[in-house]
Structure 1
Amino acid sequence: MRVWFLCKVKYAKENEEGLLKNVSEQYLVDAVSFTEAEARIYDMLGSVIRGDFQVTNISKSNIVDVFFFEDIDVWHKCKITYIITDADSGKEKKVTQFMLVTAHDVKEAYDRIYESLDNMLVSFRVPEITESPIVEVFPFEKDDEELLPPPPANLKPLSEVKADQERREEIRRTNQPTEEIEEEEATLTQYEAEDSENDLKEE
């Protein structure tokens, strides 16, 4: 499941009259942490915004999914509600989620969100749609993996952990017969020592 971060960016933008004006814009970034979200927004906007810009705030967004249509780049925030039944108690529970979709207006956003969610297994309602101030959405792409921060030095990749476990298991299986033989030899030696002591006592 994607985790979306809302990034607020402040910079000097040139208006239609050619004058620079300070503006604050919002961007939605798909990332695994605040650190990665910051790295991605600086990387994405570094080649787009002329001059310096500042990321003034990063927060986790309540958006769970986005649907992009290429004919328009205006985002609309849709409130989705549906009812689920708790498997243990049998009680019904209302679930509310928020999604983004690009559309020319609210009516088109309504149609497109229904079109995008036509594979949902439960019936849902769209009680609210508003035009979003979000300028652009940056989903995670395969090429963005190089921006991920390195794992902590004390953590091993899962593949290495599994390989170590397999090696230890193989060594244990290989050494098992030898250990059993050594135990048997040690037992025989103990019996022989006890017999020798008994013979000395009898003499």
Structure 2
Amino acid sequence: MSEIWFECKVKYRKTQDTGEQKITTETYLLDAVSYTEAETRINEEMKAYTSEEFRIMNIRVANFAEVHPFDNSDRWFKSKVSLIALDEESGKEKKSNIYLLIQANDVKEAFENTNKALEETMGDYTIPSITESPILDVFPYFTGEEEQLEKFKVIETAESELIADE
């Protein structure tokens, strides 16, 4: 199942470094299966993030093909990647664009991290643009698959022991 990323804009009162409170609108990214789930998830995440009242101003499907977090980075960048393929009928190069969300500290590092993210790509590509994204944080969806796998292993081991005892 492919991920659907939703960009959520949330307005709330934020305490600045100076101690002053200011109303701000910030953008967050999360994956969900529907707008309804995205709204539920951003509500949960924001309740954990702030004790202030907040309003969800907008939810829209984001056009990111992939999201790549990197350690020791604090900003998000939108990398436009042009995948290059050869059209066998006409013999001409054909480009198709995808967008990656890359975590980095600056544009240079975002370029390097985009190349790292595309290391295993078999085809040719170019990176025509990288821009800083307004996204403040990313909340990936965790299904608890790891826990389910562990439970399955425990059940499987218990069944094997029962069969061995018979």
Partner residue of 2:118? 117
Separation in structure 2 between the aligned mates of residue 107 and residue 74 of structure 1, nearest angstrom: 12
Deviation, 1:88, is 8.1
Equivalent positions of 1:1-203 (< 5 A) are 1-85=2-86, 92-143=93-144
Three-state SS of the structure 2 residue aligned to 1:120 is coil
Contact 2:85 2:124 in 1 (8 A): no
Three-state SS of the structure 2 residue aligned to 1:142 is coil
| Aligned CA-pair RMSD | 1.9
Separation in structure 2 between the aligned mates of residue 97 and residue 82 of structure 1, nearest angstrom: 8
Query: Which residue identity is paired with 1:35?
Result: T
Separation in structure 2 between the aligned mates of residue 116 and residue 65 of structure 1, nearest angstrom: 9
Separation in structure 1 between the aligned mates of residue 117 and residue 47 of structure 2, nearest angstrom: 32
Q: Structure 1 pair 56/125, CA: closer, same or farther in 2 (3 Å)?
A: same
Separation in structure 2 between the aligned mates of residue 119 and residue 22 of structure 1, nearest angstrom: 43
Query: Which residue identity is paired with 1:123?
Result: D
Q: Which has the higher helix share?
A: 1
Query: Which residue identity is paired with 2:11?
Result: K
Query: Which residue identity is paired with 2:128?
Result: P
- Per-residue CA shift, 1:41-96, capped at 9, x if unaligned? 11111111121111110011111111111201211110000123467887753210
* Runs of 5+ consecutive residues of structure 1 not aligned to the other structure: 145-203
Separation in structure 2 between the aligned mates of residue 20 and residue 45 of structure 1, nearest angstrom: 17
Q: TM-score, normalised by structure 1?
A: 0.66
**Identity percentage of aligned residues:** 41
Three-state SS of the structure 2 residue aligned to 1:71 is coil
Number of aligned pairs? 144
Answer 1 or 2: higher relative contact order, Cα 8 Å, separation at least 6.
Answer: 2
Name the larger-Rg structure: 1
Q: TM-score, normalised by structure 2?
A: 0.80
Separation in structure 2 between the aligned mates of residue 40 and residue 91 of structure 1, nearest angstrom: 45
* Runs of 5+ consecutive residues of structure 2 not aligned to the other structure: 146-166
- Per-residue CA shift, 1:2-41, capped at 9, x if unaligned? 1111100000001122121100000011111111111111
